[in-house]
Structure 1
Amino acid sequence: MTKLPAPTFGKKLPGKPYTKRPCAFGIAANEDGQIACVKITRPSYVRWDLPGGMQEKGETIKRALIREYAEETGLKIKVGELVARTRQYLVKPDGDRRFNRSSYFEVEIRKKAPEGKAEDDHELVWLDPVKAQRRVRDDAAAWAIAAWLRARARPAD
């Protein structure tokens, strides 16, 4: 896998430890140039994110992305190039502290797989990439979208 720098976002607060979490997220564009995002609606908040999530024990990072993407969007994907890596300190609304080490991949939508969707509080939405950058919860995800846009804008060698 390509070695990319991984900038760190968020601030590590003193006190309780942070749980280390390897994560994978996918950036998929439709024919109109919009990217797939998920709108997550819970009783205490609404937030936006790129589809993806935590790698489970015994799972490769790409397999985690395929599973998470299907659970959140009901879409089957093909994982493409790695476009960004990040690290981010987060404190969840319940106070749980996490240190996400995330990989962001360009992905291609293969087909709808509604039987794979498991997270009812996640809604697939297509957003203009700049609008998505403003809406996503994490600074790391916004940075990854910018890295993806920049890579797509470069002329071929």
Structure 2
Amino acid sequence: MMKKYIPLVLICFTLILSACTQNEEDTQEYSGIISDGKVLGYEYTITKEQNTFSWQVGYKGDITIIEESIDNEDELQNFMMAVSNIEAVFTKLILSLSYFIIVAVISFFLYKRNRKILKDGGAIVAVLSGIIALFIAFDASFDLNSALQDAKFHYLRLTN
């Protein structure tokens, strides 16, 4: 009985997929915000109106509107990637520091309770976990500094 419904389901999937796809005409007519990002003071918003793209780039509330052209297209893309990189590295830093705090709190709790786990080798695991978390956080802080310098460089090139 189920075999009778398989062709019907396949036809329904085909109709749904064809209704959900966009052709080039649909995307050409779209106007509005294409993408945006904001992290640690740096921000950008890409808007499309007819066939032109305008970018709002900013740092700490100082917004500059730039029309995309062949001359500045690469620099705008680099700024967008720098802001995205800052967001990713900042998230990595927060997660690694959170992991370190969790390991430290659990280790302290087990130490106060005189648990056998911490005495038999759990201390080595806790210390190694803490060291790994601190190493990742330390590495992420250098990456964050580099990403912030990169965003600053591209922002200054765009606004000056």
TM-score by structure 2 length? 0.21
Judging by fraction of residues, say which structure has more helix. 2
When you count strand as a share of all residues, which structure comes out higher?
Answer: 1
Q: Which has the greater radius of gyration?
A: 2
